[in-house]
Amino acid sequence: MKIAITNLKGGVGKTTITQNLAVCLTHMGYRVCVVDTDTNQNTLAWFGVRSEELPNLNVVGSTDPKALIKTVTNLHNDYDIILIDGTPSLGEMTTRVILASDLLIIPILPSANDFRAMEQFFERYNLAQETASKEIPAYFLLNQYAENVRLHAEIKELLEQFGLPILETTIRNRVSYVASAVEGTGVYEGSDNKAKLEMVELTNEILKLAAEAGLVTQ
C-alpha cells in the first residue's frame, strides 16, 4: 500500500506526520519505507540521525518527478507500506505523488491562509484522478488543532466545503513532535503519552480506511 502525505503548502506537517506514521507502523510490525520527495530532504536527514538500535525502517530520496512512480513501484515489492513525504512544489511532482499513491492524507493547519493553496491542489488532484484508472481516496488531517478553540472549530466547518472527508483523529500542537524530529524518532518512541496515543489513533484510523478500501488486510 502506498500512502502520500501531501499538500501544496509548506509547513503544514507533512514531514512530521510522515515520520510519525512510519515509526508507528514499523512498531506495529509493518515493513515501512518512506520516499522523501522534497528537495529539502528533511526526512532523509531525520533518518540519518535515527539510532540503529531502534526498529528498522527505510528512507529513500526521490526528487525527480519522472522517476517517482517507478521508484515507488519497485520499492513496493520489498515493503508492506510506502509513505510518500510530499513536496510543496506546484509543478509536476505533486501530480506524480498523487498518481504514485493509493491513498492521500492532506495535513492542514486551522488557519485561513492554508485554504488558499487548496484550490491549486484540487486542480492537481482532479487532473491526476482523470489520468489514473483508479480512484485515489483523499482525507484531510487537522494538524496543530485544538477542539476547544472556537476559531479552529470554525475552520473545520469551512474545510467541509471542499467535499473531502476529514479524519476523526486530530493532531495537537506538541513540543514532542518538534523534539522527535530532531532526534530521528517518532513520538511513539518518546515519553509524551498523549502524543503517542493520538499517533496510534491516527495510524489505526488510516489502516482501517485502507482496509475498507481493500488496500491492506488488518
Ligand X SMILES: Nc1ncnc2c1ncn2[C@@H]1O[C@H](COP(=O)(O)OP(=O)(O)O)[C@@H](O)[C@H]1O
- Residues contributing to the site for ligand X (CB under 6 A): 10-16, 42, 143-144, 171, 173-174, 177-178, 181
List the single partner that 177 binds among Mg ion, ligand X, none, CB under 5 to 8 Å by kind. Answer: ligand X
Closest distance of CB 181 from ligand X, Å: 5
Q: Which helix (H) or strand (E) holds 215?
A: none
Nearer to Mg ion, 38 or 114 (CB): 38
Contact 5, 105 (CB under 8 A): yes
Nearer to ligand X, 42 or 132 (CB): 42
Candidate list 6, 7, 15, 26; residue touching Mg ion; CB under 5 A: 15
Which residues touch 161 (CB under 8 Å, ≥6 apart)?
Answer: none
Nearer to ligand X, 102 or 198 (CB): 198
Closest distance of CB 10 from Mg ion, Å: 7
Which residues touch 51 (CB under 8 Å, ≥6 apart)?
Answer: 184, 185
- How far, rounded to the nearest angstrom, does the alpha carbon of residue 172 sit from its chain's CA centroid? 15
Q: Which helix (H) or strand (E) holds 133?
A: none
Residues within the interface to Mg ion (CB under 5 A): 14-15, 38, 42
